[in-house]
Amino acid sequence: MRNLRVVVSYDGTRYYGFQTQPGGNTIQDVIQDTIKKLSGEEVHIIGSGRTDAGVHARGQVFNFHTAAAIPVERWAIALNTRLPTDIVIRSVDEVEPEFHSSYSAKRKTYRYSIDMNKFPDVFERRYRFHHPTPLCVDGMRKGLAALVGTHDFSSFTSRRSTKTTHIRTVFEARIDEQDGKLDLFISGGGFLYNMVRVITGTLLLVGEGKLTADDVSVILEARDRSAAGPTAMAHGLNLWEVEYLE
Amino acid sequence: MRNLRVVVSYDGTRYYGFQTQPGGNTIQDVIQDTIKKLSGEEVHIIGSGRTDAGVHARGQVFNFHTAAAIPVERWAIALNTRLPTDIVIRSVDEVEPEFHSSYSAKRKTYRYSIDMNKFPDVFERRYRFHHPTPLCVDGMRKGLAALVGTHDFSSFTSRRSTKTTHIRTVFEARIDEQDGKLDLFISGGGFLYNMVRVITGTLLLVGEGKLTADDVSVILEARDRSAAGPTAMAHGLNLWEVEYLE
């Protein structure tokens, strides 16, 4: 059995998220069905993490074990010709048997995209949250800086989180601004359920002047979801990159 | 009656082009229906030119005459709240009564987008033609340069063209390249039916090494559609900008 690592990008608009569900129509279901059509195998693919309904990925990673004789360099093109056009395999390579897309991940980066123009860019409307009034980006940057480091992020995760610890490390974070569009990039060792979306929803309140940048530290210390802002819309979020020690 | 000039962007994927058709489902039909819902008027909007089925526009321009009392600055938001999300009005302003979106246009720019990466960018797949093998971009640039100036473009228009003259002026043209993606920008006083797509289809043959850059001049001089390459796919084309003397 070979262990294959796959980098996949997808437009999450019409899917119920990455992880398989009883009703189907998830990225995992579609990919597993496609592998079955290709190799005849019933595989279980292991994602680096789930993404929610409507969330996109430029660089999601998964791995799976296969006994198929298909050469490694043929897998990507063979899958892409069978997948719907909103899921594209970017690369496939063979890794050590113990490689695990989730446990082996060292760093994940998410992007959250916002369009502050009065009217949205029609070509990015599925990927960029439209906020048609200006935001104080400097305030958002200051608030975001308060979250870098190792903290208990209980305020910034869904109440439905089942993790035993909410301590996570954010390595770096920044907000790029161009032509009235913001791209928030945040990199860390791992993220809690809804964490990037709750951070973004809170920073939007800072940008609107409803919270100050200093309030973000107070919210962090509260360790209480109700202290933070709303969960930002799914469609602005993109799992940008997952990195591993090679 | 006021004459209003409107800049509109649209994702042309699911429409049968700009210009109204008996079957409906064109950009013009949808916009005229929306104006009727808003003001009750049966208007005929005048586009700067038609775009084909599947072709997009960042900056299409149209004008129409209205007796409605709606203030100019309210039109854009009033239309956008009623239009489908793949059509976005960017601006509305009042112009002289004699302004005509097509006759008054001084310069039009089209963009044709190509993805040369082995696997396409999933977030641009509806806007960028996927050509999964490398192209000789220098050859394409040389071939394109031969088309700048005033020429008879009979070789580069559909046989269905009904224009009395095929002489047109290309003011400037360039190909930008980044991350395996090409954006061909071409500006001129006006373009013939399918002209940018036939130019692109011919340059793709140059990029593939099936024609030389010098062949482009020979094709131009032939004044014969059969001398040129195929019509490139519609979805890579975008009406980028229409300019007027103010």
Beta-carbon contacts of A106 under 8 Å, excluding residues fewer than 6 positions away, are A189, A243, A244, A245
pLDDT value of residue B159? 84
Q: With an 8 Å Cβ cutoff, is A11 touching chain B?
A: yes
Name the burial class of residue A116, with classes exposed (0-12), middle (13-18) and buried (19+) by CB atoms within 10 angstroms of its CB.
buried
**Mean pLDDT to the nearest integer, A62-76:** 96
Report the CATH number of the A106-244 domain.
Answer: 3.30.70.660
**pLDDT per residue rounded down to tens, chain B (246 residues):** 999 999 999 999 999 999 999 888 999 999 999 999 999 999 999 999 999 999 999 999 999 999 999 999 999 999 999 999 999 999 999 999 999 999 999 999 999 999 999 999 999 999 999 999 999 999 999 999 999 999 999 999 988 888 889 999 999 999 999 999 999 999 999 999 999 999 999 999 999 999 999 999 999 999 999 999 999 999 999 999 999 986
Q: Is the pLDDT of residue A65 over 80?
A: yes
Q: Where are the alpha helices (DSSP H) in chain A?
A: 27-39, 72-80, 137-145, 195-207, 213-222
A-interface mutation test, from B31, B122, B128, most A Cβ less than 10 A away: B122
Domain spans of chain B, in order of start? 2-95, 107-244
* Nearest CB to A122; choose among B9, B77, B123: B9
State the binding site of A for substrate.
Answer: 110
* Nearest CB to A127; choose among B86, B123, B125: B123
Q: With an 8 Å Cβ cutoff, is B121 touching chain A?
A: yes
Contact of A16 with A51, CB cutoff 8 Å: no
Are A87 and B122 within 8 A, CB to CB? yes
The CA distance from B240 to the nearest CA of chain A, in Å, is 12
Are A119 and B58 within 8 A, CB to CB? no
Same fold, A2-95 and A106-244: yes
Find out if CATH 3.30.70.660 is the number for domain B107-244. Answer: yes
* Nearest CB to A123; choose among B11, B90, B122: B11
How confident is residue A154, by pLDDT bands cut at 50, 70 and 90? very high
Beta-carbon pairs below 8 A across chains A and B: 49
Among the listed residues A11, A52, A115, A215, the single catalytic one is: A52
Contact of B163 with B195, CB cutoff 8 Å: no
Query: B2-95, which class in CATH?
Result: alpha beta
